[in-house]
A and B are shown apart, each in its own frame.
Chain A
Amino acid sequence: MSLIEVEHASQRFLTRRGLITALNDVSVGLETSEVLCLVGESGSGKTTLGKMIAGLRRPTSGRLLFEGKDVWTSSTEEYARYRRAVQIVHQDPYASLNPVHRVREILGAPLLRHRITSGGAATEKRIREILTQVDLTPPDDFIDKYPHQLSGGQRQRVSIARALTLEPRVIVADEAVSMVDTSIRVSLLNTLLNLRERFEVAFLFITHDLGIAKYFGWSGDTAVMYLGQVVEHARTRDLIANPSHPYTRALLSAIPEPDPELTRKKQKVLVRSMEIPSLLNLPSGCTFHPRCPIWESGLCDQKAPALLRVDDTREVACHVVAREAVVTR
């Protein structure tokens, strides 16, 4: 039984300009202390999926299971247990912390609300422990600070600490290091990786940066999303070394590398169009076909490909790739 299971979930929004399908029949799972990276461009649905897994959005159709139970039909107690078990760390540490609360209150409130500690010295002790776990040491230097007195990296550590107060099983990290300067990004990622090892926390790690996904998710999985669907899902190392879906290949080849020779030598996979189609008016068949370098007329523009298992650890949603995989087997 998986810790988290998303089954054929879709999320539709009614906007003034029409119905938007932000997520279309997505299925992913997350095991204890596993890392799943979600990568994709804007509009790919990665944040919507993150919010769905964090319980902030009920799927329009499909199910979200926590330890095998449907979250949205479970009893009040089970639902409360789930909400405690899944915590979220947002992108912008300048917007996600209450500016009029000190670190003590920011971390103390959830501890008291969920009766994890009983207040007074016990709460104080627990806050200091958590600050130490996120490397805000010595805790005395931070516990009385307001968010504006902290740097961006330190604020993000407070956000992580806040998520930790409830001893979560899963942390949804939505672009959690994107706004942090390069020089402090690695230490923040290392802090998160340590938490995973020490407390067996599973991570849903959402990022647009494949380099960061590679570093954080090296021992886990990565799912590539495009216009509301997962188009490729594989072990991160396999996905990077040997991308299958033409979209994944185009993405990996397009990213500039922080190494002049490497970046000059990189073979580029060209897409046929630079423009991402609108979610209001999705292309027929495979939604990637108007940009795809290997599309086949009469097939890819007619029929939507399903996400199929092409080998032991990889799923791909592409007619052409799936056919070749069968042939070579």
Chain B
Amino acid sequence: MGDTVMNHVASSGGDIANTADVVLSVKDLWIEYLTSRGPVRAVRGATFDLHQGESLALIGESGSGKTTLGLSLIRLLPHTARIPQGQITYRRKDRTSEVLSLGAEDMRRFRWEECAMVFQGAQNALNPVLTIRDQFVDTVQAHRRQGQRQIHERAEELLRLVQLEPDRVLRAYPHELSGGMRQRVLIAMSLLLQPQILILDEPTTALDILTQRAVIDVLRRLKEQLGFATIFVSHDLSLAAELADRVATMYAGRIVELGPVDDIFYRSAHPYTKALLEAVPTVVGNDEKLISIPGSPPDLRNLPEGCPFHPRCAFVEDRCRTSDVPVEWVSNRQEVACLRWRDVRGEVKS
């Protein structure tokens, strides 16, 4: 399978042609949910590589497919989901594995040891009747034979890294900790088995501003010190601006734009990314004009023909209403699915 990855990256040329440090490679992934009214395609042909130590933000609104895509990477999709097509390839120094064809026991090991996830509303993901210490021990012992002592040492080290006092926290039950503390406990716990990849779904949503800041700073520091790769799923552009090396914008199940954070924010080539940025206020600075995006997010059951964003797009042309939109390379590191990306970058509206 190495071939397919090489092909995809080779077509990009330049900067990221080096596949040596790709830890996760998603190729043409389709995911659908079976519903009483027929299948709904939540993810449509997602393709991206995750490099060692990088942090990739999946940005999108509700229904864009970002959480579905995140969950599929560790195969935690609900039973009604199906993956009719696509590949998820995980690489470690000496071996590669196809995540979608791992057996049950290999999959169990893959989760947390290789790829850990911190869920949305993670504050409620801890077991209420066990102390934090017991939950750390259980987690390690589900994967490795390790003595309590060793586990403690590792737990203490990680808790200090997330700015918590190990003595106090390890003895506590979840309800004795604040939301922000629980979130940091989960981040520490997710790193217990030194995974190469950490997936975070809306890691700061529902946290208060100062707590949110603490979590952001902790995530940045951990990434620098431990060097794992992160994928975080969020609706929050500010979080991407803070934490991401690269950003993928999702709309109606597709990755419509992918590139380095500065290119996405300052040289966006997709009208949707651009419109989102114009719709979000900065806090400091003067009054800005915010521009609203007309219409509403699309119904996945009933997507418009052509480009799914066309009914809301300021750059729409006739061909957008009918033709399929291929992903094109804007530069050697930024790709976009828009027929008019040259005009979008150069700001020529129809």
- In angstroms, Cα B180 to Cα A240, docked, is 26
B238 at the interface (CB under 8 A from A): yes
A250 touches B241 (CB 8 A): no
Beyond A254-B210, A276-B208, is A266–B284 a contact (Cβ under 8 Å)? Answer: yes
Partner of B61, one of A181, A240, A274: A181
Stretch at the interface among B75-83, B116-124, B293-301, B322-330: B293-301
Beyond A214-B287, A258-B238, A263-B242, is A274–B281 a contact (Cβ under 8 Å)? Answer: no
- In angstroms, Cα B288 to Cα A187, docked, is 15
- In angstroms, Cα B64 to Cα A127, docked, is 34
Nearest chain-B residue to A273 (Cβ)?
Answer: B210
B239 at the interface (CB under 8 A from A): yes
B193 at the interface (CB under 8 A from A): no
A183 touches B209 (CB 8 A): no
- In angstroms, Cα B235 to Cα A211, docked, is 15
B61 touches A263 (CB 8 A): no
B62 at the interface (CB under 8 A from A): yes
- In angstroms, Cα B291 to Cα A255, docked, is 21
Q: Chain A, 221-253, contact with B by CB distance < 8 Å: what is the 0/1 string?
A: 000000000000000010010000000001110
B6 at the interface (CB under 8 A from A): no
Q: Chain A, 174-190, contact with B by CB distance < 8 Å: what is the 0/1 string?
A: 00000001111111011
- In angstroms, Cα B213 to Cα A252, docked, is 11
Contact residues in B for A276 (Cβ distance below 8 Å): 178, 208, 210
A254 touches B212 (CB 8 A): yes
A181 touches B235 (CB 8 A): yes
Beyond A258-B237, A263-B238, is A181–B297 a contact (Cβ under 8 Å)? Answer: yes
A153 touches B292 (CB 8 A): no
Partner of A260, one of B236, B241, B285, B297: B241
Partner of A186, one of B235, B261, B292: B292
A182 touches B61 (CB 8 A): yes
Determine the interface band of chain B, counting residues with CB < 8 A from chain A. 35 or more
Stretch at the interface among B47-55, B102-110, B129-137, B271-279: B271-279
Q: Which residues from 202 to 219 on chain B have a C-beta closer than 8 Å to any C-beta of chain A?
A: 208-214, 216
Beyond A212-B281, A215-B290, is A258–B241 a contact (Cβ under 8 Å)? Answer: yes
Determine the interface band of chain A, counting residues with CB < 8 A from chain B. 35 or more
Beyond A41-B210, A151-B296, A257-B238, is A183–B279 a contact (Cβ under 8 Å)? Answer: yes
A42 at the interface (CB under 8 A from B): yes
A141 at the interface (CB under 8 A from B): no
Partner of A183, one of B61, B210, B236, B281: B61
Beyond A42-B208, A274-B214, A276-B208, is A183–B297 a contact (Cβ under 8 Å)? Answer: yes
Q: Chain A, 123-157, contact with B by CB distance < 8 Å: what is the 0/1 string?
A: 00000000000000000000000000001111000
A186 touches B279 (CB 8 A): yes
B291 touches A260 (CB 8 A): no
- In angstroms, Cα B276 to Cα A182, docked, is 7
B292 touches A211 (CB 8 A): no
- In angstroms, Cα B285 to Cα A261, docked, is 13
- What are 23 A-B pairs at a CB distance below 8 A? A41-B208, A41-B210, A153-B296, A182-B276, A183-B293, A184-B296, A185-B292, A186-B292, A186-B293, A187-B294, A210-B283, A214-B283, A237-B287, A250-B210, A252-B284, A254-B213, A257-B241, A258-B282, A262-B241, A262-B284, A262-B285, A274-B180, A274-B210
A-side residues, CB < 8 A to B, are: 41-42, 151-154, 181-187, 189-190, 208, 210-212, 214-215, 218, 237, 240, 250-252, 254-263, 266, 268, 271, 274-276
Q: A154-B296, A240-B283 are in contact. List 18 more A-B contacts (CB 8 A).
A: A41-B210, A153-B296, A182-B237, A182-B280, A183-B61, A186-B290, A211-B282, A215-B287, A240-B284, A256-B213, A256-B236, A256-B239, A259-B241, A259-B265, A259-B282, A263-B238, A268-B213, A275-B178
